[in-house]
Structure 1
């Protein structure tokens, strides 16, 4: 059975992913800021036959990656997979203040970099491992200000790391969800986070370069790249309007 680190595991996609992966007897290392919620996820995993290690931490802290890896190795002796799921949103406008910008950069981009930097040497020594980064369709279509910027950057980083690690036995996958029902979204009638959890499980079982869910967003991504003027027209002014409504 595998030892899998899941960040942002207290709710949404992270919780659904931890639940799904824990069902097959894996050891799931759960990290997020909310210890009580993590404890509940751990109880659910263990009741389903898996093993859970709870490490409450804030991925914005530069020391978290080292602490998480040290705790995992002390308890299990190995790390088979890392799911970089923790993420935060913010204003879709370039007028977002520094606090929002820093939070999105720290959680959505710097944390995955630090965590990959921490686990790659271990996986190299093992001769195998998997990294799954949770991006966003907003990393393909510029529509959410700094959030989009962090997800564009994560996409480029994932491609680069995958190529860097080619031949080492370490697989690197990017999963790009569209609108999913999570604490970050307010829309109704959206698919649940289980659709992404299922994609993570598939990526760990049979690695692939990139996965987009729900699949309908692939058409929007293709249209935005081949007909950018159309995306400009459809999205014109929306970020400013949403920023003003949120003030």
Structure 2
């Protein structure tokens, strides 16, 4: 029985990932704050023949992260896969209140670090495992205020952990979606690719760990331009936050 933790599993990319991975032979441990939504996801997985364990979790709280990992360990005594998907967005400006900033850092950065810290010893002892972190194109091109800052940091942490665990049998991958049709982009969801495109990338990373997968692939051009011609990127996005604040 494979045990998979998926955070942010109540909607969007997390829900789609949990449902896809919730096949017979896998127990998906579902983490999010909204208990009713988690129960609905668990019911969908089990209707399809899978096994799910919903664990309502506020990832801003270290004790809640510990309780989530303990619940996953209770299934078989090991955790095979960690999908760090949960994320909070915010205004594209540094002019945000401290509560919003702190919550964003707690969920987007500190929770993935705490979860990796919790699962790595068991994976290392088993000589196998997979960690997939869901970053963002905004973690390559700084246009999203504090949100970009957290995703830049998650990218750096993912690189560090991948190098730290090289040769242990633990795969560490980063998925960087662009704009996807989820609740975070509800106003434009009908014109954006759905979360399934990200789930496809997650499955590829689980079959064979990848350093980075960008979806949709067209965003790679923007990322390369930002790295090679930062001055051009500065001019393209100059004043963007001010115009939308």
Q: Deviation string for 1:132-161 (max 9, x for gaps)?
A: 000000000000000000000000000000
Q: Work out the CA distance in 1 between the residues paired with 2:59 and 2:161.
A: 20
What's the counterpart of residue 115 of structure 1?
115
Counterpart mapping for 1:32-181 below 5 A: 32-181=32-181
What's the counterpart of residue 224 of structure 2?
222
Q: Which stretch of structure 1 is more off in the superposition, 137-146 or 69-78?
A: 69-78
Q: Work out the CA distance in 2 between the residues paired with 1:49 and 1:25.
A: 9
What's the counterpart of residue 19 of structure 2?
19
Matched, 1:198 2:232: no
Q: Which stretch of structure 1 is more off in the superposition, 146-155 or 118-127?
A: 118-127
Q: Deviation string for 1:28-65 (max 9, x for gaps)?
A: 10010011100111111111111101111100011122
**Paired residues, what number?**
243
**SS of corresponding position for 2:172:** strand
What's the counterpart of residue 231 of structure 1?
233
**SS of corresponding position for 1:82:** strand
Contact 1:91 1:100 in 2 (8 A): no
* TM-score, normalised via structure 2 length: 0.97
Q: Work out the CA distance in 1 between the residues paired with 2:208 and 2:113.
A: 23
Q: Deviation string for 1:156-210 (max 9, x for gaps)?
A: 0000000001111111000000000111113240000111111111111111110
Q: Work out the CA distance in 2 between the residues paired with 1:123 and 1:58.
A: 24
Q: Work out the CA distance in 2 between the residues paired with 1:222 and 1:11.
A: 31
Which residues of structure 1 form unaligned runs of 5+?
Answer: none
Could you list the structure 1 runs, at least 4 aligned residues long, displaced by more than 2 angstroms after superposition.
none
Which residues of structure 2 form unaligned runs of 5+?
Answer: none
